[in-house]
Structure 1
């Protein structure tokens, strides 16, 4: 099952954008969203579970929100770690435009909203948080995780939220076997698992 928001769309026009109020980093904030991105009307349940589970992000370094949508994870990272550089990565140009607009609206100058190929190859991440696009299909998802999980810095970790009914446990087993030994369930809530994926040993 493929959904339009997993693929590219042109930036939303002024008429297409709408303002919604959300809670991020413990603050009530107004952001812009639009149809054609994931969960345009609110912070989805999986992302809420992830953001309630993660520790405070590292204060410095490069942080990654993989599959950023309109930006709830990236904006949270940027609000909580103003001294870090936050990479909001997506293939959907509409999503990236919304992240840029929301970062500017919130006065966040530490957010880089870019396509995957625009992240410099030598960047290693002090944290990777993601609500990954499970519905793009197993092969595409595995390819994405094979690309990005090894870019977590030694001693750092990735935290992924995946719905249990969409294969969270089998995905954790695959990551542990094929990409990052030591991957395990960190938390479980409301039908979602939060997976902890360790970076390479130092």
Structure 2
């Protein structure tokens, strides 16, 4: 069994080889075609997951039935691990493949046993979950305190910094990214066109090139 994806996931970085093998003893490899759901909001939760390839979006339905994208999970990242600590063992979100993807499913029961036996591992996981919560809080602040231009530009700058490149392949269709940013697809397209007309970026299909990263960052100071 190839455990490289798990070894490269921050959640598992504190495990030695024996612990990693134990965690993966009943690991399930799950291929998902684009658009297929791995689980839905309210389903019973017995596993958490690591993305091996592709992109998974986590969504939640609002009170009026509107779908909101909460996170987009990429290769090497884990999701749904916090559910093992909840009293109600049910997924609070829906997980759906944005593109053809493969995820690795690990049982909550087995991993929780490792946490119980190794306090250092438990503290490591607590730190990872805290960092994720902190990141989401920061994201909520940006979405609630800033306008649509700032949200889109902040996203694009973050993607450039994540990939260390100004040539990007958008991780999801524009409507998914727009939902993640709390704007409409029409607003997303209008803002992209504005940035294109100003020569800041170019977009062909899903391929986006930032011509002037400095100018893009300047928008964050203006808005």
Q: Please confirm whether the aligned pair reaches a TM-score higher than 0.5, indicating the same fold.
A: no
Q: TM-score, normalised by structure 1?
A: 0.32
From the two aligned structures, give the one with the greater helix fraction.
2
Q: TM-score, normalised by structure 2?
A: 0.30
Rg (Cα) greater in structure: 2
